[in-house]
């Protein structure tokens, strides 16, 4: 969809355009009209604290203060009970990114008890491909992890939890060409965006995707004809990491009457598989899982849940 529109507003990632909490009392940085096209420069989620020189040891000294979001933008005339339609027109990465997991004592990610030390990989992008270790290459499908409008409740709110008005959804299918529908809770919507991901596996299991600064161009449109209680979206995918319909994959499963236990079993099985067959350390396998594997719920209607983790085999060199 790149090039099929005129950009009405270009909002840079200047300090006074970036915030790290949701607050419906925050002054908008721009007022736009319904139907306007807005281009946002978005910092990475950690607001530049991770650089190409950062080491895993540095992570123990860092605290996450909230996603660095560009906004808020007021969409004139939008009212509570309206829906804000967000058409994702173009998403461009800036040439590099990173995947990390924090030291296990922080309790973050799916398996903090398995990884007491922090881990980090800095990715170099070559066009639409990100380079990992041992010749592994991940196709890139960039999207904003946080897309949302201000909540109805007053005061500052953490950016980490997803909400009924959007926010940290981490839906990897919100790529270029997709449309997101957000229920509006406050006047003028107060839209913000950020947490760029160059690629992500469904589950984002180690707490980060391929985190990356992005430039995201969207069209913001008031819809008073829709009744949406929670985010909904329309997308063409990708439904597998490499966006190939007949992708050969390897799957590991978890089986338990507890959904989280089953998920951990499936991901631990995949970490073991990658570690034992492709020469990665367990920490490297964990990082790769967050960027490249998809965690799926296979069934929920019997006494035990079945959860599977899938990895596309073509990302590994012969």
pLDDT in tens, 164-186: 999 999 999 999 999 999 999 99
- Beta-strand ranges (E) seen in the chain are 9-11, 18-19, 30-32, 36-42, 69-75, 83-93, 96-101, 119-126, 129-131, 137-139, 143-149, 166-168, 179-183, 191-197, 214-223, 232-234, 249-256, 294-299, 305-312
**Model confidence, pTM:** 0.94
Band the pLDDT of 21: cuts 50, 70, 90.
Answer: very high
Looking at the structure of the chain, the number of domains it has is 2
Q: Are 273 and 292 in contact (CB under 8 A)?
A: no
Same structural domain for residues 171 and 284? no
Same structural domain for residues 260 and 119? no
With respect to residue 236, please indicate whether it lies within any of the assigned structural domains. no
Same structural domain for residues 29 and 146? yes
For 63, other C-beta atoms within 10 Å of its C-beta total 7
Same structural domain for residues 254 and 162? no
Band the pLDDT of 280: cuts 50, 70, 90.
Answer: very high
- Per residue in 118-149, pLDDT (tens digit) is 999 999 999 999 999 999 999 999 999 999 99
- Mean model confidence pLDDT for the chain: 95
With respect to residue 238, please indicate whether it lies within any of the assigned structural domains. no
With respect to residue 163, please indicate whether it lies within any of the assigned structural domains. yes
Same structural domain for residues 29 and 123? yes
At which residue do the structure tokens 């060199």 appear? Answer: 317
| Per-residue pLDDT, 247 | 76
Band the pLDDT of 4: cuts 50, 70, 90.
Answer: confident
Query: In this structure, what are the phi and psi dihedrals at residue 239, rounded to the nearest 5 degrees?
Result: -95, -15
260 Cβ neighbours under 8 A, 6+ residues apart:
none
Per cent of the chain over pLDDT 70 is 96
Domain's final residue, options 159, 190, 224: 224
Q: Are 189 and 78 in contact (CB under 8 A)?
A: yes
Same structural domain for residues 217 and 258? no
Band the pLDDT of 223: cuts 50, 70, 90.
Answer: very high
Residue 276 has pLDDT above 60, yes or no: yes
Distances (CA, A) of 264 to 81, 112, 206, 296, 300: 38, 11, 11, 12, 16
- Average confidence (pLDDT) over 3-25: 95
Band the pLDDT of 3: cuts 50, 70, 90.
Answer: low
The lowest-confidence range among 67-71, 174-178, 210-214, 246-250 is 246-250
- Average confidence (pLDDT) over 220-226: 98
| Per-residue pLDDT, 246 | 65
């Amino acid at each position: 969809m790149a090039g099929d529109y005129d950009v009405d507003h270009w909002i840079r990632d200047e300090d006074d355009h970036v915030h790290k909490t949701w607050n419906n009392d925050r002054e908008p940085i721009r007022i736009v009209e319904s139907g306007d096209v807005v281009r946002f420069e978005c910092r990475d989620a950690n607001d530049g604290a991770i650089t190409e020189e950062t080491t895993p040891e540095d992570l123990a000294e860092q605290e996450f203060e909230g996603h660095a979001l560009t906004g808020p933008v007021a969409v004139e005339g939008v009212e509570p009970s309206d829906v804000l339609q967000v058409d994702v027109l173009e998403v461009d990465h800036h040439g590099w990114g990173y995947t990390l997991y924090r030291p296990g004592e922080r309790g973050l990610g799916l398996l903090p008890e398995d990884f007491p030390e922090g881990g980090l990989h800095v990715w170099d992008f070559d066009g639409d491909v990100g380079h990992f270790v041992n010749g592994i290459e991940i196709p890139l499908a960039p999207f904003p992890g946080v897309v949302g409008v201000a909540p109805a409740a007053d005061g500052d709110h953490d950016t980490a939890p997803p909400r009924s008005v959007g926010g940290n959804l981490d839906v990897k299918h919100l790529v270029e060409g997709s449309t997101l529908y957000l229920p509006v809770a406050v006047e003028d919507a107060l839209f913000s965006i950020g947490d760029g991901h160059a690629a992500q596996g469904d589950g984002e299991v180690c707490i980060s995707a391929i985190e990356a600064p992005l430039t995201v161009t969207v069209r913001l449109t008031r819809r008073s004809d829709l009744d949406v209680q929670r985010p909904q979206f329309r997308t063409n995918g990708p439904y597998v990491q490499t966006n190939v319909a007949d992708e050969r994959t390897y799957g590991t499963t978890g089986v338990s009457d507890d959904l989280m236990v089953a998920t951990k079993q499936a991901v631990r099985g995949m970490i073991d598989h990658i570690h034992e067959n492709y020469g990665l350390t367990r920490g490297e396998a964990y990082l790769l899982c967050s960027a490249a594997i998809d965690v799926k719920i296979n069934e929920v209607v019997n006494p035990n849940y079945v959860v599977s983790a899938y990895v596309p085999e073509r990302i590994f060199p012969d």
